[in-house]
Structure 1
């Protein structure tokens, strides 16, 4: 639909009216100058073909920015958690004196839902290789979003299928469109919007958590719990205290229906951590090597606060029917992320 500016919509011919003019004659009406406006072009409809063109455009634009080491340009193609991760990636490269990684992509599979309102979004499943490292090929899920007709497409989420995981088959109709699930869909074991909370609970409580009844143990659930315990013990040996908690983010979900009626859901979590000296001495903690690129080399107070952004894809099985067949558990099968933010608050 063509859009016209308010100025054009309100354009009138102004005819001044004067009472008691000299000689009793009315002045000639003078039309106001018309303002010529150009209507904004109608946005391209979201189709599988349009989505593939947008994906190809992104891969070219992103690698141009990466080859030039241009963080500002790279940030113009991303949004949400991907903005934080991209900024941190470029800063890490500058800090280490390394080039930013460039990627090569294989043949993509496009999952494009029929959406009648904004935001529009689609997901791409594609083999991705770090340029110059043929052994680095991994299956990636990329989620793109367009929040309004006047906005461009941006990459919101990027995650990698675990090496031994099997990607579920997303259902496509005769025209090649996928089916989007509502975040409150109750046909699957866990409502898509509840997946981050279930995963965060397993990361906090471990295999004995009640959440283990509906979500599988693994490196991205109970594995986080085990790793946090190890890090706490290691910190204690060096006179440090570590606090860490996984929390939900305001970033969007991307839920799709699979061929067997289950769900493939892409979403993000953040991990907020605090590293500090023991209370009795208030010593300044040393800056960990993997945090140094986000700090200026000094610790103002006695704590270091960090935020990791993790992006996931989870298989959410359809609820069991009356046939007695087991439905299984939800499985977090893809993960990618990194440290995205760090700060050293001054003493209170």
Structure 2
């Protein structure tokens, strides 16, 4: 892989010196030496559109090498945050089912590069992505890359795909090729970027009657999760099981950018933590469903199966409209327009 930072060179300098005075027995003190290790500090590299272009091209080459070889360890060296457990789970599922790991072809990217001085550095690539061998699978994809310090390498933090009927908002890019980032507490948009995950999680938990429905649209990735959870609970109950599921905001980074009309495009992640258990612990253990089997060893040690899904989203956050609406401007709602994710973890805790 091409390295962004310069190679760190360790210089070993041996500096002899004499200890004055005498040893305890009156003999001259022995002549000694001290080894001093001087370490070069990595030189910070400014984040530019050219750097982003180079890192994107490097990533798609490295990613394909790992996927072609089915090398999970190599693949994990190019990713971080939510992409790490998702990548590990993807490779594990492919091995469990005896299938090759999916490989991708990428189109020409639109690079959304904020002008940042302090670390972490990050940028987003908006790019058409196609599963190799499936020409009908092309989807507009957002890839968010992060570099946390000059000594770190660039890694993929988040990957999400535009919903089939959604339109990608146009992100502001200036004459020099830089996009405009939003502050996490930006109040010019309807929902502060840092609050978006919590608003979506609330809708997923409470459904269309939630107060959160006043600021975020109902849909597959909001109230749809609420409806699906109710159906899953009903099905579990019919089979003598109990299901608990909750959506939770994560500590993973999110990536907010300004659009041309003053609104925002925000990329972020949520987890869904679920517990499936027998209603009567004395009557057996919950069965291992096919979608969980690749993450377990075939047995359930206790009476519960705990799972974690990681979802990665893109949301359109409209510019806030001031006034009472008499000027004809009506406040829109935030809309989740991109989603990707999968089951990432599964455990069967032993009884306490």
Q: Could you state the TM-score of these two structures normalised by the residue count of structure 2?
A: 0.90
Aligned to 2:232: 231
Post-superposition Cα deviations, 1:308-345, rounded to whole Å, max 9, x if no partner, equal: 00000001111113455112000010000000000011
**Given the alignment of the two structures, is residue 286 of structure 1 paired with residue 284 of structure 2, yes or no?**
no
Aligned to 1:121: 122
Q: Could you state the TM-score of these two structures normalised by the residue count of structure 1?
A: 0.91
Aligned to 2:94: 93
Alignment of 1:258-273 (within 5 A): 258-273=259-274
Aligned to 2:340: 336
Post-superposition Cα deviations, 1:270-305, rounded to whole Å, max 9, x if no partner, equal: 000001111364520100100000000001111100
Provide the alpha-carbon RMSD of the alignment: 2.5
CA distance in 1, matches of 2:9, 2:58: 30
Alignment of 1:132-211 (within 5 A): 132-211=133-212
Question: How many angstroms does 1:233 deviate by?
Answer: 1.1
SS of the residue corresponding to residue 114 of structure 2 reads coil
CA distance in 1, matches of 2:14, 2:218: 65
Question: How many angstroms does 1:45 deviate by?
Answer: 2.0
Aligned to 1:62: 63
Post-superposition Cα deviations, 1:120-161, rounded to whole Å, max 9, x if no partner, equal: 100000000000000000000000000110110000000000
Aligned to 2:21: 18
CA distance in 1, matches of 2:305, 2:59: 35
Question: How many angstroms does 1:226 deviate by?
Answer: 0.6
Instruction: Tell me if the contact between 2:248 and 2:273 (Cα under 8 Å) persists in the aligned partners.
Output: yes
The worse-fitting range, judged by mean Cα deviation, of 148-157 and 317-326 is: 317-326
CA distance in 2, matches of 1:83, 1:2: 26
Specify whether residues 261 and 73 from structure 1 end up closer, same or farther in structure 2 by C-alpha distance, changes over 3 A only.
Answer: same
Post-superposition Cα deviations, 1:181-228, rounded to whole Å, max 9, x if no partner, equal: 111111111111110110000000000100000000010000000111
CA distance in 2, matches of 1:185, 1:48: 24
CA distance in 2, matches of 1:312, 1:7: 46
Is the strand fraction higher in 1 or 2? 2
> Which sections of structure 1, spanning at least 5 residues, go unmatched?
21-25
Aligned to 2:331: 327
Specify whether residues 136 and 37 from structure 1 end up closer, same or farther in structure 2 by C-alpha distance, changes over 3 A only.
Answer: same
Aligned to 2:245: 244
Specify whether residues 279 and 52 from structure 1 end up closer, same or farther in structure 2 by C-alpha distance, changes over 3 A only.
Answer: same
Specify whether residues 249 and 145 from structure 1 end up closer, same or farther in structure 2 by C-alpha distance, changes over 3 A only.
Answer: same
SS of the residue corresponding to residue 112 of structure 1 reads strand
Aligned to 1:23: none
Specify whether residues 11 and 249 from structure 1 end up closer, same or farther in structure 2 by C-alpha distance, changes over 3 A only.
Answer: farther
Instruction: Tell me if the contact between 2:11 and 2:39 (Cα under 8 Å) persists in the aligned partners.
Output: no
CA distance in 1, matches of 2:230, 2:103: 35
Instruction: Tell me if the contact between 1:2 and 1:40 (Cα under 8 Å) persists in the aligned partners.
Output: no
CA distance in 1, matches of 2:10, 2:191: 46
The worse-fitting range, judged by mean Cα deviation, of 231-240 and 272-281 is: 272-281
SS of the residue corresponding to residue 311 of structure 1 reads strand
> Which sections of structure 2, spanning at least 5 residues, go unmatched?
none
